[in-house]
Amino acid sequence: MTHRTEIEIAWGDTDAGGLIYFPRFFHFVVVGLNDYFAPAVDGGHPMERLRRDGYALPSIDASASFESPLRAGDVAHVETTVTAGETSLADEFEIARPNGDRVAGGEVAFVLVDGDFEPTPLPDAFLECIHERGDASPA
C-alpha cells in the first residue's frame, strides 16, 4: 500500500529561476523512504540506524519522469511503494500536488551492503514493515 509523505519545497530546493532543481526530486524519494521505514526503527532515522549497525543502502539504479515544476513554498506529496528482494528494494514513487496533479514519478533501486560493500540480507524489521504496509517482500 502506498505511503504518503508531505514535503514543503524550500528556497534551497530551487534553482536560480525559482523552479525545483530536478535532483531534489531524488532527495525527496529518500525522505519518503525514511518516513516509510521509520516504524522499523521505532520512529528513528532508518538510514542512520543502518549506518550505525555497519550497513549502507546505496541506490544502484534510478529513473524518473518530470511533468510539472514545483516552486519554493509549494507542498508536495511523495507516494512511496516498496518491493523487496533478499538484499535489495525498489522504491516506486510518485510526487504530486495536494490536489492530485502529478509532478514526477519513477523508481529507485537500492541494495543493502555491509562494511565490505557486499550485498547482505535486508533486516527483518524492514521486511516486516514492508509486509505490514501491504507491499511486496520475499516469502
Q: Where along the chain do its domains lie?
A: 3-132
> pTM of the full predicted structure?
0.91
What does the pLDDT read at residue 138? 65
**What confidence score (pLDDT) does residue 22 get?**
87
Look at residue 133 in the predicted model and tell me its pLDDT: 92
Q: Looking at residue 86, what is its pLDDT?
A: 95
DSSP state of 30: H
| Domain 3-132 CATH assignment equals 3.10.129.10 | yes
Which residues are CB-neighbours of 50 under 8 A, at least 6 positions away?
A: 56, 57, 112, 123
Q: Which of helix, strand or coil describes residue 53?
A: coil
Low-confidence ranges of the chain (pLDDT < 70): 137-139
Instruction: Give the per-residue pLDDT at 43.
Output: 80
